[in-house]
Amino acid sequence: MSALATSIVDALHSALGRETASLHEPLFQSKEQEYVQDCIDSTFVSSVGNYVDRFEQQLADYTGARRAIAVVNGTAALQIALQLAGVESGDEVIVPALSFVATANAVRYIGAIPHFADSHEATLGLDPVALRGWLDSTAERTTDGCRNRHSGRRIHALVPMHTFGHPCDMDGLMAVAHDYGLVLVEDAAESLGSRYYDRHTGTFGLLGILSFNGNKIITTGGGGAILTDDQQLADHAKHLTTTAKQPHRWEYVHDEIGYNYRMPNLNAALGCAQLEQLREFLASKRRLYNRYCDAFSGLEQAYVMGEPPGCESNYWLQALILDDEVAEQRDNILATTNESGLITRPTWMLLNKLKPYRECPSAPLPVATSLERRIINIPSSAGLV
Amino acid sequence: MSALATSIVDALHSALGRETASLHEPLFQSKEQEYVQDCIDSTFVSSVGNYVDRFEQQLADYTGARRAIAVVNGTAALQIALQLAGVESGDEVIVPALSFVATANAVRYIGAIPHFADSHEATLGLDPVALRGWLDSTAERTTDGCRNRHSGRRIHALVPMHTFGHPCDMDGLMAVAHDYGLVLVEDAAESLGSRYYDRHTGTFGLLGILSFNGNKIITTGGGGAILTDDQQLADHAKHLTTTAKQPHRWEYVHDEIGYNYRMPNLNAALGCAQLEQLREFLASKRRLYNRYCDAFSGLEQAYVMGEPPGCESNYWLQALILDDEVAEQRDNILATTNESGLITRPTWMLLNKLKPYRECPSAPLPVATSLERRIINIPSSAGLV
């Protein structure tokens, strides 16, 4: 056990005021039981029911998106959002190399190819300056957008992901998308409650998506949502995620290849109760961040990730970022903390290193490569402090 | 209102002993609330939790399959089962034209092409004799299976679907699959509780699938399962449906393109309680079938669909089958019954007639075409009688 690892365990104990803590667990302390019971009593637990409509309206109201479409999970939401953004089989889609695998998988499900780009140290998300430089050297504008000069494929969409809830530099990324004719689709799976200059993440692109998996800031068991201001796209999203069945008194006419992706009413009932507590969860997570800042203030070789300038982060998953000179101690710190019952995790392996994505196009990734070695996620549940 | 429609309304009233009835609604009368509350109290509502393991074990025990893997819905189950059966992009897969659209959609999701085949009047499922005749004229055996002489594509799998819970002629279909080198994958979405010569549907093929959508005999809100006796395939199914993440203390290594298809623990909790009542649901549905037989015994122009010889059907969805000479009265009967508050439905539009599937290969479909005009599903909920 290194001195650094010991200091980190001590700081975690000090911040948390407890000996052990999981990485992230949901908190059910309001009307979850009530709504779920009511849902079961109504017998509408599945594809039809009021909680889905209510959850969608609550999400739209909260995020400021004109429409929200609740679906079975964030991955399904991203798949449908990309499809509605016009991504076609054989297109390339710019995604961060530093992300959960679902970001790339959703691209692959529709036959498109992820094209990895680098992150910025201050946001942990896509770096617009590096991306612009890379596109200048690799891509050319065409009448219908942008083409990769090396692969010959169309690059059609840009998918920023707001890492751990910290918003990307959206002004910069929107400018790159504009200048290169890329459709912006936001992966806001981790950033419900996060704002960039007072505007909610997931509402900058043509479409955005949220996730309500068990480890997210609010959970529906499994679930996700598509956000958009475009009514036609929203209607189409609803249609595609409900088997593309045309409305009819009794006939089964499906006019395109749809999906069984709607969120069950049972899960939406849980979501309604969770969403009512979001403000408290956000406050709790911010308190925890401040506690961590205090506890780690004496530690010179690491810092706690804070919200980028102009942003209000949801602090969904707290991150300790090691200085480069102690990055090689990451696994020792992970072992020490986990063995102490303080559950920590490294960040994801960069997607371009995973077997199914090794052959995909990639920009140089100096920052993402450095961050991958240096990030340690630390206990983050709402209600910890 | 025709005399026939009036007679049918009268017979429905007589059988049901009530004025109105929905087509199918779930029945929650046991431990649903208890298990779901316990699940929420545990905080394990999502990807990890005991109810998923328990539900999978209960399903395996009940069906006799060595393994059951719970997933997010039946469509996802069929997509993964087909992929594990070795279906590849560009392959053809034999499916019944008379089925819900999900059967064909799952084939398309992996880039394969549905090849439609005809049904048998006695089972409402694929007719092995007609299928053999069609393959004799259309396909040829090859070293790796079977090839469509017209399209040049490999025909790799055969997907019988047990319509409304009535088992197909599995002996006949297994013989065709054997003789033509086709992998058998059963779509048992509708037939939990149905047996063919004492063996549960969904356990005859290399893989089979179940659905627990809200309209099925038991429901998890949304849900499905993959059944197989092959331990390696089962392990692979679990891996693929849980983002293909390799087990590791903390690293995120995904070794193939996986899916976010696991069933949330919250939904599995509901499923455990539902499955405990399956025997009662089956008994209730059989009682209802007998009531319908009595009530419709005086009607010469229609009959109530009964279980095929050697089979024990779950009578999930009751079906009235019109004689050909009164088939043109179907829509009148549908209007009359629905306007009376007795909810009825025609069967699905044949899949080869749907816009996304019009160009797909198809055998002649005389029986399916006739059945499509003649089937009316009538109120079927467990607990009606």
Domain boundaries, chain A: 3-24+278-377, 32-275
The three-class DSSP label of residue B318 is strand
Which residues in chain A belong to E strands, given as ranges? 67-71, 92-96, 113-117, 139-142, 145-148, 155-158, 183-187, 195-196, 199-200, 207-211, 224-228, 302-304, 311-312, 319-322, 345-346, 375-377
Put simply, whether the predicted model's pTM sits higher than 0.95 gets the answer yes
Domain A3-24+278-377 has CATH 2.60.40.10: no
| Residues B240-298 pLDDT 10s | 999 999 999 889 999 999 999 999 999 999 999 999 999 999 999 999 999 999 999 99
Angle at B22 between CA B21 and CA B26, to 5 degrees: 115
Residue-level pLDDT at A249: 87
Q: Does domain B32-275 have CATH number 3.40.640.10?
A: yes
Q: What is the pLDDT, as a whole number, of residue B49?
A: 87
Q: Which residue in B has a C-alpha nearest to residue A343's C-alpha?
A: B250
Quote the pLDDT of residue B249: 87
Between A279 and A2, whose confidence is greater?
A279
Mean pLDDT of B34-57: 94
Look over chain B and give the mean of its residue pLDDT values, rounded to a whole number.
97
Fold of B3-26+278-378: Aspartate Aminotransferase, domain 1 (3.90.1150)
3-32 in B: which are within 8 Å (CB) of A?
25-28, 32
Q: Who among B26, B256, B262 is closest to A355 (CB)? A: B256
SS3 content of chain B, % helix, strand, coil (to 5): 40, 20, 40
Instruction: Give chain A's mean pLDDT.
Output: 97
Q: For residue B214, which residues of chain A lie inside 8 Å, CB to CB?
A: 44-48, 264
Q: Does A325 touch chain B (CB under 8 A)?
A: no
What is the chain A residue with the closest CA to B99?
A: A252
Task: List the one residue out of B220, B331, B302, B231 whose CA is nearest residue B10.
Answer: B302
Per residue in A301-312, pLDDT (tens digit) is: 999 999 999 999
Identify the band that residue B306 occupies on the pLDDT scale cut at 50, 70 and 90: very high
Q: How far apart are the C-alpha atoms of A105 and B259, rounded to whole Å? A: 8
Identify the pLDDT of residue A47. 83
pLDDT score of B145 = 85
Q: What integer pLDDT is reported at residue B138 of this predicted model?
A: 97
CA distance B114 to chain A (A): 12
For residue B220, list chain A residues with Cβ-Cβ distance below 8 A. 264
A231 close to B (CB below 8 A): no
Q: Which residues contact B195 (CB under 8 A, 6 or more apart)?
A: B167, B201, B311, B312
DSSP state of B86: T
Question: Testing the interface with B: which of A52, A103, A257, A373 to mutate, by most B Cβ within 10 A?
Answer: A257
B255 touches chain A (CB under 8 A): yes
Percent of chain B with pLDDT over 70: 100
Express each pLDDT in A191-225 by its tens digit.
999 999 999 999 999 999 999 999 999 999 999 99
Q: What is the pLDDT of residue A31?
A: 96
On the question of pLDDT at A1 being above 90, the answer is: no
Q: Residue B266 and residue A221: Cβ atoms within 8 Å? A: yes
B35 touches chain A (CB under 8 A): no
B37 at interface of A, judged by CB pairs closer than 8 A: yes
Dihedral sign for Cα atoms in the order B340, B191, A48, A241: negative
Do residues A158 and A185 touch, judged by C-beta distance below 8 A? yes
The pLDDT value recorded for residue B47 is 82
pLDDT value of residue A375:
98
Q: Provide φ and ψ at B309, rounded to 5°.
A: -55, 140
Q: Is A338 close to B250, i.e. CB distance below 8 A? A: yes
| pLDDT value of position A144 | 81
Chains A–B, number of C-beta pairs less than 8 Å apart: 188
C-beta separation of B271 from B72 below 8 A? no
Given a cut of 80, whether residue A18 has pLDDT beyond it is yes
Closest chain A C-alpha to B178 CA, distance in angstroms: 31
Residue B46 and residue A215: Cβ atoms within 8 Å? yes
The reported pLDDT for the residue numbered B176 is 98
Q: Which residues of chain B make contact with A266, given a CB cutoff of 8 A?
A: 221, 266-267, 270
| pLDDT of B144 strictly over 90 | no
In the numeric block, which tokens belong to residue B303?
């009959």
Chain B nearest C-alpha distance from A243 (Å): 8
| pLDDT at residue A247 in the model | 92
Q: Cβ of B221 and A45 within 8 Å?
A: yes
The answer to whether the beta carbons of residues A319 and A377 sit under 8 Å apart is yes
> Would the pLDDT of A169 be above 80?
yes
Candidate from A25, A100, A266 with C-beta closest to B270 = A266
